[in-house]
Amino acid sequence: MSEVVEPRKSRTVEDMIRKGRLVRVSHDTQLAAVHIERARGRLRSAQRAFDAHDYTECASPLWDAARLSCAAILQAEGLRANGEGHHATTLDAVTEQFGHLLGQWLRTARRLRAERREDQYPTRALLPEPSAQDTKEDIASVTALVNAVQELLPHLPRYH
């Protein structure tokens, strides 16, 4: 990939900026790469939990890896989520702009976020233990997201 990847224009992202949910920061691909390295560390944590057959413990580091990948995209564009709900804002902004490229992996990220939130702040009886197969698929999906974002980063323009 050698050309600039233009994000899909979104009135929603413009509204997020106008409302202060997204703020402009430096267009910094080096800092974005740091987010990717941190995401890879979370993937390693998820893999360790998987290897220990602790599938419930995989959701949190997998969500963190997905979120950090999304934060890397925003950083490369010169944006950062701000304020209450910034994790959701990060995911929403990236989905709005890059869902056409990363959609299947972002859907996994959104589900993991919901599962992690339910685990931390239960609103109903405990969720069933995830299966080894489902967890393996989630690890593969989030790994694919991290890899795809890493490939995109050098080709992202500053958000206009």
Domains of the chain: 11-155 (1.20.120.330)
Of 29, 39, 41, 34, nearest to 75 (Cα)?
29
Residue with tokens 């050309």: 3
pLDDT of residue 148: 94
pLDDT of residue 72: 97
pLDDT of residue 1: 53
* pLDDT reported for residue 128: 74
Give me the residues of the chain with pLDDT under 70, please: 1-2, 4, 118-122, 125-127
- Whether the CB-CB separation of 106 and 94 falls below 8 Å is answered with yes
In angstroms, the Cα distances linking 109 to 18, 91, 106, 113 are: 26, 8, 5, 6
Nearby residues of 13 by Cβ (< 8 Å), 6 or more positions away: 22, 93, 96, 97, 159
Give the separation between CA 4 and CA 22, rounded to whole angstroms. Answer: 22
Residue 104: the pLDDT is 85
What pLDDT was estimated at residue 138?
92
Phi, psi of 9 (to 5 degrees): -65, 140
